[in-house]
């Protein structure tokens, strides 16, 4: 089995907690040859802790010297496009952390370059891979749901503002709760419904809780390894801690959602879809029930384990090897990621303008 040479751009939490462990889990398929971070200490610490032989502070230098087969882009959100295009231009396939892009045109441009170069590009949309959502996809694909006509999802942390890094700074992150934790739920819901074409998006953003100071640990957001933690300053926070909205699809389906880093509500992670024959309910990412007439049917086994933190990255990285090495059809398709980027753009534009935004406007 040929090993793919991997380079990682970004030496922060998501690289150390998700990408690197996943590559190491498939050590018969991948070899991490280098890591890059603009902050030398982050690059050096990541390399030393994980046994990575080379570290750099300049991504272009790393790409030119190491000539990797695959690059994981784990940089702050607003640098995703820059580093993805740079890696593709140097002949590397790319796994980019979510969100791949903040606009429809940027997403299309990125996939266009990948196609032009004959390379593979994918976004790390990992929350499709929980047991309940995999079962739900099979349930829907079987036709048991019938045609869906309504969907709603919720991802609420009672208190979970990331008090570290640059999540709270729009110039670095591009947005707040919606683009951080909401985008995963959006992708999963779109995937479950077959990625319908979007008509318009309405959105609203609120910032109410940034003065409640805490630490990365006490915020509830810390599930991985953080090195060189940047102190949180509430005065810097210029993104939403609560987002809500509606997506109208061209086939008549409606989708409502709410997403929160902090809200006076219980923690909640749900996707619900109503179809002509049945409905499915995925509460808290664990139990799936199918409803057929007056019958409540659990289509999952009685006992199943929730995925460990970042276990979805293992699925993505396993799939990417099969795509690159063996020509397999990818699970996460370009048109799905492009749809997500368009909804992100329309959502924030709607919140700014105070009106629905049609996809035709993008």
Instruction: Determine the pLDDT at residue 293.
Output: 47
Inside any domain, residue 317: no
215 and 189 co-located in one domain: yes
pLDDT at 235: 80
Instruction: Please indicate, yes or no, if residue 246 is contained in any of the structural domains.
Output: yes
* Domain presence at residue 305: yes
CATH code for the domain of 23:
3.40.50.720
> Backbone phi, then psi, for 92, in 5-degree steps?
-105, 140
- Domain holding 218, by residue range, is 130-309+340-361
Q: Which residue stretches of the chain have pLDDT < 50?
A: 215-225, 284-289, 291-295, 301-308
pLDDT at residue 133, rounded to an integer: 87
The answer to whether residues 23 and 35 touch, using CB atoms and an 8 Å cutoff, is no
Closest CA to 231 of 246, 211, 216: 216
Is the same domain home to 147 and 238?
A: yes
The string of pLDDT tens digits covering residues 34-91 is 999 999 999 999 999 999 999 999 999 999 999 999 999 999 999 999 999 999 999 9
Share of the chain above pLDDT 90, in %: 71
Q: What are the distances in angstroms from CA 31 to CA 2, 7, 64, 181? A: 10, 9, 17, 29
Query: What are the C-alpha distances in Å from 77 to residues 82, 146, 255?
Result: 10, 37, 25
Structure confidence at residue 306 (pLDDT): 45
Decide if 23 is inside a domain.
yes
With b for 16 or more beta-carbon neighbours within 10 A and e for fewer, the 181-202 pattern comes to bbbbbbbbbbbbbebbebbbbb
Number of domains in the chain: 2
Residues 166 and 273 in one domain: yes
Bridge partner residues of 297 (DSSP): 290
User: Does the residue 315 lie in any domain?
Assistant: no
Q: Nearest CA to 102 among 126, 128, 84?
A: 84
Do 224 and 304 belong together in one domain?
yes
Q: 255 and 167, same structural domain?
A: yes
Using CA atoms, how far apart are residues 198 and 32, in angstroms rounded to an integer?
A: 39
Instruction: Give yes or no: residues 121 and 252 share one domain.
Output: no
Is residue 18 located within the same domain as residue 105? Answer: yes
Are 108 and 186 found together in one domain? Answer: no
| Residues in the chain, total | 362
Let me know whether 229 and 355 are in one domain.
yes
Question: Domain holding 274: CATH number?
Answer: 3.30.360.10
Within a domain: residue 334?
no
> How confident is the model at residue 219, as a pLDDT?
44
Q: What is the pLDDT of residues 147-186, one digit of tens each?
A: 999 999 999 998 888 877 788 889 989 999 999 999 999 9
């Amino acid at each position: 089995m040929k090993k793919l040479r991997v380079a990682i751009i970004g030496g922060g939490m998501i690289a150390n907690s998700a990408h690197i462990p996943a590559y190491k889990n498939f050590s018969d398929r991948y070899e991490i040859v280098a890591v890059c971070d603009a902050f030398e200490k982050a690059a050096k610490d990541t390399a030393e802790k994980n046994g990575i032989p080379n570290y750099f502070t300049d991504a272009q230098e790393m790409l030119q010297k190491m000539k990797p087969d695959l690059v994981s882009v784990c940089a702050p959100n607003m640098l995703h496009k820059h580093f993805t295009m740079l890696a593709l231009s140097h002949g590397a396939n790319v796994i980019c952390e979510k969100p791949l892009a903040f606009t429809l045109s940027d997403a299309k441009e990125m996939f266009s370059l990948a196609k032009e170069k004959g390379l593979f590009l994918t976004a790390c949309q990992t929350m499709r891979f929980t047991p309940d959502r995999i079962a739900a996809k099979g349930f829907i694909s079987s036709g048991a749901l019938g045609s869906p006509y309504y969907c709603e999802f919720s991802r609420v942390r009672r208190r979970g503002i990331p008090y570290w890094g640059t999540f709270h700074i729009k110039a670095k992150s591009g947005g707040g709760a919606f683009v951080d934790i909401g985008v995963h739920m959006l992708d999963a819901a779109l995937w479950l419904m077959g990625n319908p074409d979007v008509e318009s998006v309405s959105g609203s953003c609120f910032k109410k809780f940034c003065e409640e100071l805490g630490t990365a640990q006490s915020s509830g957001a810390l599930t991985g390894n953080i090195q060189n933690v940047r102190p949180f300053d509430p005065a810097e926070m210029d993104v939403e801690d609560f987002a809500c909205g509606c997506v109208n699809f061209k086939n008549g389906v409606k989708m409502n959602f709410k997403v929160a880093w902090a809200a006076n509500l219980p923690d909640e992670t749900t996707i619900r879809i109503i179809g002509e024959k049945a409905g499915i309910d995925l509460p808290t990412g664990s139990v799936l029930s199918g409803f057929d007439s007056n019958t409540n049917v659990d289509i999952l086994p009685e006992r199943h384990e929730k995925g460990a933190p970042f276990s979805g990255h293992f699925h993505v990285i396993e799939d990417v090897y099969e795509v690159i090495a063996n020509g397999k059809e990818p699970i996460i398709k370009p048109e799905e990621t492009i749809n997500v980027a368009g909804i992100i753009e329309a959502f924030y534009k709607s919140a700014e303008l105070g009106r629905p935004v049609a996809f035709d406007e993008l």
